Every structure is written in C-alpha cells, then in structure tokens.
Amino acid sequence: MIAGMAHESASSLTHLSATRLAALMARGEISATEVVRAHIARIEAVNPKINALVVKRFDQALREAKAADARRARGEPLPPLHGVPITLKECLDLVDTPSTFGMPSRRGDLAKTNDRYVQRLISCSAIVIGKTNVPQALIYNESSNALYGRTNNPWDVARTPGGSSGGEGALIAAGGSPLGLGTDIGGSLRLPAHFCGIASLKPTSLRTHDYSRFAELAFEFGPITCVVGPMARDVADLTLALRLMGTVPHPRLPSPPPLGDPDAVDVSKLRLGFFTYDGLMRPSPAVARAVREAADMLRAAGAQVIEWEPPDLRQAEALYIRLLTANGASVFRAALAHDKPEPQLALLYWLARRSPRTVKRFRHVLATLRQMNFARQLDSIGFTAEDIPRLTDAAEAYRRTFATAMDHADGGPLDGVLSPACFSPAWPHGASRELITGGAYSIVYNLLGYPAGVVPVTRVRPDEAIVRPLSPDVVDIAARRVDIGSAGLPVGVQVAARPWQEHVALAVMKVIQDAARKRADYPTTPVV
C-alpha cells in the first residue's frame, strides 16, 4: 500500500492519476493486482447508479495484472503504463468485444483486431478493464441507446454525462477508471469532460485519425474528420496518453509533425484570447465566469490574455451542419437501416429522408411558430452531394479567416483561445432532442481542425442556477430547464491552440488546473 496511506481503504487508489499509479507500481509500492481490483470494486459500487461501463473485462484484466506483477518480480523492464487500468469508448475495437455504436443489430459484431491506438496503449502494458456507453450511432450529446440503456451523470443522475464519449466521462469522474480513450467529431470528448468535471483533449485533425469502422465509413475523405483522444482527471495523464498513442499516419496524407513537449512551453510568453458567447446560445452565468476566472489564472502566471471576438460562429455552425448532413446524411441513414432511431434522433432522421424542398417548407412553418433556433439550424439541412465541393471551399475560406483573425488580434498574434465548451452545465436527460448542437463552442474546432481540450475549473453556485427569460422557442425552453437546479454541477473551460500545437494547449490547461485545484469550488468528487 502507498506510503502514508496504510490505513486507507483500497478506494484510495481510485482517486489517483494514471501517471501517479504507474510511478507507484514501477517502484513496487503497490501491485497491479491491487490497482485493478480497486477499480473493479469501484465500478461495481457506482455502475448500478450511472450505467457507464457496458462491456466488462474483469477476469481478463485480473489475469493481465497478475502477469504484470510477475514481470516486475522477475526484474523485467516495465513499460510506461505498467499495470495501469484503462477503459475505452464502446466504438473502439478491442479483440473479442462488441463495437455496436449502441445499435442492437450489431450486438454480435465482435472485433477481430484491436483499434490501432488501443493497441499502442496495450503495448505499453495498460490493462483494459472494460468499454463504456455511447449514444446510438454516436450522433447526439447524450449516452443512451436501446442496447445498453442510459448513462447517468455521477454529479446528478437526473442529468446526462454528454456524448458521444459520455460513458467514458462518467466512469472516469466517478473513479472507475483513471484514463480512457474516446473519439470526437463534434465535441464528443470535450462536452462529456465539461459535463462530468474531468479533462480531455481533442488532437489536431489527422494527428490521431479515427480508424474505427464506423468513422472510416462515414468521414474518411470528408473535410471534418473524427479523431481519437484521451480523457482523464489530470492533464498530465492526457499528455502521457497522447505521447504513447503516437500517430498512425493516414495512407493518403502527409505525416503530421512530431508532438511537442508541454513542459517546454513558457506560458508567461504566450498571448491568449478569450470569448464567452458564440452569438448562438447565451452562456449560463457559471460558464461565463469560469472562462473569465481561467483568464485571470493565466494572467497571474504571466500570460497576456485579451478578450477577443472570433469570426462569425453562426457561419461556423452552418458550415459544420451542412457538411455533415449533405446528401441526406446517407451514412447515418445506412447505419440505422436495421435499428429504430432513438427519440433524440427521431426528428433528425425524419428530416434526413426528406427532399430539400420539404425541409425548406418545414423551416418556414417553424419560423411562423416562432421556433427560430430550429429554423436557423434547418437552414443548414437539405444540401446534396453536388454541394459538397462548394461547402468544402467555404470551410477552407472560414479556416483562413479564423487564422487571420488570430494573427491580427489586438497587441499581436494569439497562441490560443479560451472559451466555454458548451453554453451550459450538464443537461437533463432528453434535452438533446432540442439542444442539437449546444451552440458552436466546440464544433468550431472540428470545422477548423484545431486541437482543443477541456479542463475543470469550478462548480455552479446557488445564485447562478438562475432562470432564463421566458420564451416560446423550444430550444430556449430547454436551455431554461438546464439552468434550473444546476447548482453544484461542474464547469470546465475549453482551451484551443493552433494546428499541431497540442503541447501549447496542454501547457495552458496545466496552469489552469493547478490554480483551480487550490480553490474550494474545484470539482473533485461527484456525489455518486
């Protein structure tokens, strides 16, 4: 047992970071078997309440832990993740386990090989203890489906942990896993981290291209690509995991530059911008406060931080939706060919099967009924395959505009940008039927391809769980429902950097994390 923890229960091990656990096991202060048993016990205690782990691998994990202990006893060299338990988003392939994407029709689809990034961590002696829940077809910002059921947020089981890496976020927050892998094409790593009070990083597009079967089918040649990224409770674990994951070069694209070293970044030499409102979904008070407080933490570390207005994020949202739904979202429709759409997808699925002319008429009806948020998003649906080249050119033009705006910020070029990850804290279950994107806060960086991470900063104060103004718009009504009763929920801040500058984002996140942890309102242990 750990020095100074002799009188603690095994659950103490589930509060430690992956980096700390690896160091303790390497020194022989604890065994891999102890660590894996402690995390299995924690999962068995919390999973009945949150339903985050949906594929168990406990027996195999214990056998691998005993083998790891035997290797150490023989004096063999120890890889960097020796004995560290990890979990995986259900869509990532692991031999002899299902990758269903939450669709019952795929329940018998057992992987024959490991996902490339999963294999990288396994080769470093990480021990996979299970796989975590996702939304149906990985599409919406909750983690529920007809096969595995609904995952609850460990801070409030009446709320979602987000999606599509929501099961991973919930389990890590609850202490069931110190480190996990998820994927991100529209905030799927960052929203769950923000909702659950943990950290995550979406790498630059194509640094960790998602080669999983569903993502490859859907987005291999698209201008918006899915990536694999780490989730943990400590920023140092994100850095370690990203370094060990490495890069699997795309066979048809140039190899990305090497990953930089966050420890070599002098944050006091950085210039950073921040914004709190995307012009689409007004932020909850705690969300805006967290960004401003994070800016102050960085100023205290010597960084120059200015308030900055990004290029039109309404345009970013429109381009993102148009690119992913052009040609009637044919890939999603094909994926759901043998499964009934979940309630959160019903409207989108119906619209995807309609002609552009029908969508335009429906949009007019919504505008007449004063449903302007839905009407705005429908302006971005109904594009065809013939529109994709033009949309791709428009996306590239927006990327140039965004980079130019960073280059010509007041006082000089920006190294990164702080913002909310979402307009609000965690949503009540079912809210993603109305809150389809949650604004452009996270999806803009999928459109741009920039690396972006989330780090926890604070929790909602009682006086911030206020009621938004009354509105006939169903999206505004859903946002109002989010804020009611949100006191105590975790709030994170998103940190984005320029392409291939993951080390800059991680260095900034580390400074924010270290400062935030000194405060009484830092989100540490959920109520579950």
Query: Given 125, 165, 177, 188, which residue is catalytic?
Result: 188
Q: Can you give the pLDDT at residue 7?
A: 33
Which tens digit of pLDDT belongs to each residue from 496-508?
999 999 999 999 9
Q: 522 in a domain, yes or no?
A: no
Asked if 459 contacts 523 with a C-beta cutoff of 8 angstroms, the reply is: yes
Together in a domain, 423 and 297: yes
Average pLDDT over every residue of 505-515: 99
Q: 463 in a domain, yes or no?
A: yes
Q: Can you give the pLDDT at residue 356?
A: 78
Query: Given 143, 164, 380, 419, which residue is catalytic?
Result: 164
Q: 470 in a domain, yes or no?
A: yes
> Minimal CA–CA distance to 172: which of 35, 14, 38?
14
Q: 236 in a domain, yes or no?
A: yes
Domain containing 422: what range? Answer: 11-248+261-318+388-516
pLDDT at residue 216 greater than cutoff 60:
no
Ranking 42-51, 310-319, 371-380, 429-438 by mean pLDDT, the lowest is: 371-380
Q: Can you give the pLDDT at residue 109?
A: 87
Together in a domain, 359 and 444: no
Which tens digit of pLDDT belongs to each residue from 365-383?
988 999 998 888 888 887 8
**Which of residues 332, 367, 387 is at a domain's end?**
387
Average pLDDT over every residue of 205-212: 89
Together in a domain, 102 and 239: yes
pLDDT at residue 246 greater than cutoff 80:
yes
Own/partner contacts of 45-48, CB < 8 Å, gap of 24 or more, are: 46/154, 46/171, 46/174, 46/175, 46/176, 46/528, 47/171, 47/176
Q: 255 in a domain, yes or no?
A: no
Together in a domain, 452 and 366: no
Average pLDDT over every residue of 443-457: 98
Together in a domain, 149 and 196: yes
Q: Can you give the pLDDT at residue 189?
A: 98
Overall number of domains in the chain:
2
**Which of residues 356, 387, 418 is at a domain's end?**
387
Together in a domain, 88 and 213: yes
Q: Can you give the pLDDT at residue 217?
A: 52
Together in a domain, 224 and 238: yes
Q: Can you give the pLDDT at residue 493?
A: 99
Q: Can you give the pLDDT at residue 8?
A: 39
376 vs 9, which has greater pLDDT?
376
Ranking 129-133, 299-303, 352-356 by mean pLDDT, the lowest is: 352-356
Q: 37 in a domain, yes or no?
A: yes
Q: 6 in a domain, yes or no?
A: no
Dist CA 485 CA 462 (whole Å):
9
Together in a domain, 21 and 90: yes
Radius of gyration of the chain (CA): 22
Tokens of 515: 């400062």
Ranking 137-151, 169-183, 213-227, 256-270 by mean pLDDT, the lowest is: 213-227
Dist CA 517 CA 235 (whole Å):
12
Together in a domain, 473 and 351: no
Q: Can you give the pLDDT at residue 3?
A: 42
pLDDT at residue 80 greater than cutoff 70:
yes
> Minimal CA–CA distance to 14: which of 524, 488, 522, 509?
524
Dist CA 331 CA 68 (whole Å):
42
101 vs 527, which has greater pLDDT?
101
Known active-site residue 188: yes
Query: Given 17, 31, 89, 380, which residue is catalytic?
Result: 89
Together in a domain, 511 and 420: yes
Q: Can you give the pLDDT at residue 358?
A: 87
Ranking 216-225, 287-296, 440-449 by mean pLDDT, the lowest is: 216-225
Which tens digit of pLDDT belongs to each residue from 139-186?
899 999 999 999 999 999 999 999 999 999 999 999 999 999 999 999
**Which of residues 363, 387, 411 is at a domain's end?**
387
Q: Can you give the pLDDT at residue 215?
A: 63
Q: 4 in a domain, yes or no?
A: no
243 vs 323, which has greater pLDDT?
243
Residue 113 burial (10 A CB sphere; 0-12, 13-18, 19+): exposed
Q: Can you give the pLDDT at residue 2?
A: 44
Q: Which pLDDT band holds residue 271 (cuts at 50, 70, 90)?
A: very high
What is the number of alpha carbons within 13 Å of residue 347 lying toward its C-beta? 14
Residue 385 burial (10 A CB sphere; 0-12, 13-18, 19+): exposed
Together in a domain, 370 and 477: no
Which tens digit of pLDDT belongs to each residue from 418-440?
999 999 999 999 999 999 888 99
Q: Which pLDDT band holds residue 345 (cuts at 50, 70, 90)?
A: confident
Together in a domain, 327 and 354: yes
**CATH code, domain with 66:** 3.90.1300.10
